[in-house]
Amino acid sequence: GREKVQSTYSVKIAAGAVVCVESEIRGDVTIGPRTVVHPKARIIAEAGPIVIGEGNLIEEQALIINSYPENITPDSEGVEPKTMTIGINNVFEVGCVSQALKIGDNNVIESKADVGRNVILTSGCIIGAFCQVNTCEVIPDNTVLYGSGCLRRVQTERPQPQTLQLDFLMKILPNYHHLKKTVKASQNPS
Amino acid sequence: METLCPCWVGEHPAEPKPDRVIYLVRGEKKTRSPLSQLYFCRYCSELRSLECVSHEVDSHYCPSCLENMPSAEAKLKKNRCANCFDCPCCMHTLSTRATNIPAPMPDDPTKTTMKKAYYLACGFCRWTSRDVGMADKSVASGGWQEPENPHTQRINKLIEYYQQLAQRERQERDRKKMARRRQCMPMAFSQHTIHVVEKYGLGTRLQRQRAGAPLSSLAGLTLKEGEDQKEIIIEPAQALDEVEPLPEDCYTRPINLPEVTTLRQRLLQPDFQPSGASQLHPKHKHLLMKRSLRCRKCEHNLSKPEFNPTSIKFKIQLVAVSYIPEVRIMSIPNLRYMKESQVLLTLTNPVENLTHVTLVACEEGDPEDVNSTAKVMVPTKELVLAGKDAAADYDELAEPQDFQDDPDVVAFRKSNKIGFFIKVVPQKEGDTDVLVSFKIRHDFRNLAAPIRPNEEAGDATTEAIWLTHHVELSLGPLAP
């Protein structure tokens, strides 16, 4: 297939998103409106593009990475770039690592949690602090993983979207940080 | 770093680390513990462990709101806090959160105003009181009730009946004892009867009587002889032939795993023991207590904490580390079977005055030396430890005292600490840890006020007595 050089991609930031200039965003990344990306957050699209929806909150030192699976080298043939999709109203707390290819809406990945590549988060899931989830499964709606043994329970209601926090940050962050320029999402690459 | 006392019986965590340096306590039961867990009775001049002291409850307090409670009140509330709740799911403390809900105004039903509604939520597992169907309350605290146990009445009746029975038994026993002995020893009475009565949980009042109280005051609290007492009759429990049958789909119905409660969650609510997670109601938080320790021989207090739950200090704190020199292992070389190696130990002097320490190897056939697996050669000369000088860090002009240490024995010296060598010859091959033991003999001055050493204690007892302790060191496995 065609060989694409990663460095030619630019980050597409929709209008209304607040992305601090100290954050590191590499590769083909699309960020939706009303999303806040804190400084020192890292979004790295290595093995494929990342599409982030609206209203997401990505805090400091969070790492969202679309990386190659362990046993495949970057140069091997026949590797289809898979797109990582992240829905709306998700929260990636400080220091978390997310490699999950498909994340739905209203999820919360708490501090220092580690979500593996083969996990699919649906809606309303909460991955507790420092929980390492590297199973190969779909986590059902409204599941909470907590504790050192990653115990689970099901909530009756989904976690609330952090609208207040997002509004506050969108007002305050530009006072202290430079922001990356918003770029209209380009047409589909031909 | 976590240390486990060897006498603790309970759920052990993954890998309890062995205590490296342990001291022997010569009490009724010979216990061996690290010095940090021991107490020192300076009236008896002996080491005490938690097992050879008597524990007394000082006060009860709630660990989250730090509210103090006298023992009687705590007993009434069944040792639970009135304000704080535990999450039934993960046993964390629940916090009260507020939301704004539109509610119709009292004057005008058509208009709505924002009113605050409170609910309980757990920050750890995200459980909320709405999960079990508890409605939001309009008051921030005091609105939450635990569900009532359906068997409360029967249980209370049974308790009353057994308390009455216990009283009767105790009275009969006391009558018998009084008849037998002329000189009644009140101490023997009170202690014995207190133990008996405690069987059925009677009597904070009886427990409060200190040993030595005369018997008549005890009798005064309970029934007088001949007084009519309402006879409590209970119906015996009835055994039923028929038992509720299991539901028909018991074997075929698929299990909804998130709904099943864990054993721990279930047993923390012994009233109901619900099998479904949607019936787990929050319970009030258990109180913790502050305890004071008392030497059993001389009845002096060894440890008395401050009454205020916010304070972690002690009024009386006779811990062993502030009186006995502490031995610590500094470095262990590779140990080989039947080969002599040098181990570097440190000795720290906790008191303000000069201390002389002599180490003596255990003799053959020493009854206290049961565990050692290696021979040890300790320095024969007396070691001198400087006193602990609190201002040593700040006083740079202080002249270092000249002790003329033998460099073969003393490796270094630093204020009140010295490092010295011992020679170890492991005697056992295999996987077992190398254990050595020796006796440490030091002089102890029982100062009148050890907290203020600079005071002129002219006529205070400054004569030293020599104490000997048996120390065991665990040096780890042999080198492969």
Does the beta carbon of B131 lie under 8 angstroms from any beta carbon of chain A? yes
Does the beta carbon of B130 lie under 8 angstroms from any beta carbon of chain A? yes
Chain A nearest C-alpha distance from B131 (Å): 6
Does the beta carbon of B144 lie under 8 angstroms from any beta carbon of chain A? no
**Residue predicted with more confidence, A178 or B179:** A178
* Residues from chain A contacting residue B130 (CB–CB below 8 Å): 156-157
DSSP state of B110: T
The strand pair at A132-133 and A114-115 is best described as: parallel
pLDDT recorded at residue B447:
67
- In chain A, the residue whose alpha carbon lies closest to the alpha carbon of B99 is A160
pLDDT recorded at residue B413:
85
Rounded Cα–Cα distance for residues B392 and B454 (Å): 15
DSSP codes, B270-339: TTT--SBGGG---EEEEPEEEEEEEETTT--EEEEE-SSTT---EEEE-BGGGTSPEEEEEE-----TT-
Q: Indicate yes or no: CB of A156 within 8 angstroms of CB of B90.
A: no
DSSP codes, B230-266: PPP--PPP---S--PPPPGGGTTSPP-GGGBPPHHHH
Q: Indicate yes or no: CB of B126 within 8 angstroms of CB of A154.
A: no
**Mean pLDDT of chain B, nearest integer:** 79
pLDDT tens for chain B, 480 residues long, are 445 455 544 444 444 455 688 888 888 888 888 999 999 998 888 899 998 899 999 889 999 999 888 888 888 888 888 888 999 888 889 998 888 877 776 676 676 777 888 889 888 888 888 888 888 888 877 788 888 888 888 888 888 888 888 998 999 998 888 877 655 454 444 444 444 444 555 444 444 444 443 443 333 344 444 444 567 777 888 888 888 888 888 888 888 877 888 899 899 888 888 888 888 889 899 999 899 999 998 899 999 999 998 998 999 999 999 999 999 999 888 888 888 899 999 999 998 888 999 999 888 878 888 878 888 888 888 888 888 877 766 766 566 667 777 888 888 888 888 999 999 998 888 888 888 999 999 998 876 444 444 455 444 446 788 999 999 998 888 887
- In chain B, the residue whose alpha carbon lies closest to the alpha carbon of A154 is B258
Phi, psi (degrees; rounded to nearest 5) at B39? -115, 160
pLDDT tens per residue across span A57-98: 999 999 999 988 876 666 666 677 889 999 999 999 999 999
Percent of chain A at pLDDT > 90 equals 47
* Residues from chain A contacting residue B259 (CB–CB below 8 Å): 154
* Residues from chain A contacting residue B128 (CB–CB below 8 Å): 155-157
Measured in residues, chain B has a length of: 480
Does the beta carbon of B135 lie under 8 angstroms from any beta carbon of chain A? no
Q: Indicate yes or no: CB of A147 within 8 angstroms of CB of B124.
A: yes
- In chain A, the residue whose alpha carbon lies closest to the alpha carbon of B133 is A156
User: Can you read off the two tokens belonging to residue B221?
Assistant: 């609290």
Q: Indicate yes or no: CB of A159 within 8 angstroms of CB of B126.
A: yes
User: Can you read off the two tokens belonging to residue B121?
Assistant: 């939520």
Chain B nearest C-alpha distance from A33 (Å): 27
Q: Indicate yes or no: CB of B258 within 8 angstroms of CB of A152.
A: yes
Q: Indicate yes or no: CB of A154 within 8 angstroms of CB of B258.
A: yes
Other beta carbons less than 10 A from residue A136's beta carbon:
9
Does the beta carbon of B300 lie under 8 angstroms from any beta carbon of chain A? no
Q: Which residue has the tokens 């690459």?
A: A189
pLDDT tens per residue across span B414-455: 888 899 999 999 888 888 888 899 999 999 887 644 444 445
- E strand segments, B19-104: 21-26, 30-33, 39-41, 46-48, 53-61, 68-69, 80-86, 94-104
* Residues from chain A contacting residue B90 (CB–CB below 8 Å): 146-147, 151
pLDDT at A163 over 70: yes
Q: Indicate yes or no: CB of B90 within 8 angstroms of CB of A128.
A: no
User: Coil, strand or helix: which one is B134?
Assistant: coil
DSSP codes, A59-108: -TT-EEEE---TT--TT-TT-PPPPEEE-SS-EE-TT-EE--SEE-SS-E
| Touching A: B residues 60-99, CB under 8 Å | 89-90
What is the separation of C-alpha B384 from the centre of its chain, rounded to a whole number of angstroms? 36
pLDDT recorded at residue B6:
54
- Chosen for mutation from B90, B126, B255 (greatest number of chain A CBs closer than 10 Å) is B126
Residue B430 zone, left/alpha/beta (φ > 0; ψ -120 to 50; rest): left
pLDDT recorded at residue B395:
67
pTM recorded for the entire structure: 0.71
**Mean pLDDT of chain A, nearest integer:** 85
Does the beta carbon of A160 lie under 8 angstroms from any beta carbon of chain B? no
Q: Indicate yes or no: CB of B126 within 8 angstroms of CB of A144.
A: yes
Rounded Cα–Cα distance for residues B334 and B314 (Å): 43
Give the number of beta-carbon pairs within 8 Å between A and B. 33
Phi, psi (degrees; rounded to nearest 5) at B217? -70, -30
Q: Indicate yes or no: CB of A147 within 8 angstroms of CB of B125.
A: yes
- In chain B, the residue whose alpha carbon lies closest to the alpha carbon of A140 is B258
Chain B nearest C-alpha distance from A129 (Å): 9
Rounded Cα–Cα distance for residues B188 and B192 (Å): 6
Does the beta carbon of A152 lie under 8 angstroms from any beta carbon of chain B? yes
Q: Is the ipTM value over 0.90, yes or no?
A: no
Q: Indicate yes or no: CB of A155 within 8 angstroms of CB of B89.
A: no
pLDDT recorded at residue B396:
63
Q: Is B321 exposed, middle or buried (0-12, 13-18, 19+ CB in 10 A)?
A: middle
User: Can you read off the two tokens belonging to residue B285?
Assistant: 């938080």
User: Coil, strand or helix: which one is A111?
Assistant: coil
pLDDT recorded at residue B367:
82
pLDDT recorded at residue A165:
87
Measured in residues, chain A has a length of: 190
User: Coil, strand or helix: which one is B153?
Assistant: helix
* Cβ B283 vs Cβ B82: under 8 Å: no
pLDDT recorded at residue A175:
93
Picking from B314, B310, B316, B342, the residue whose alpha carbon sits closest to that of residue B329 is: B342
Rounded Cα–Cα distance for residues B425 and B401 (Å): 34
Does the beta carbon of A124 lie under 8 angstroms from any beta carbon of chain B? no
Does the beta carbon of A157 lie under 8 angstroms from any beta carbon of chain B? yes
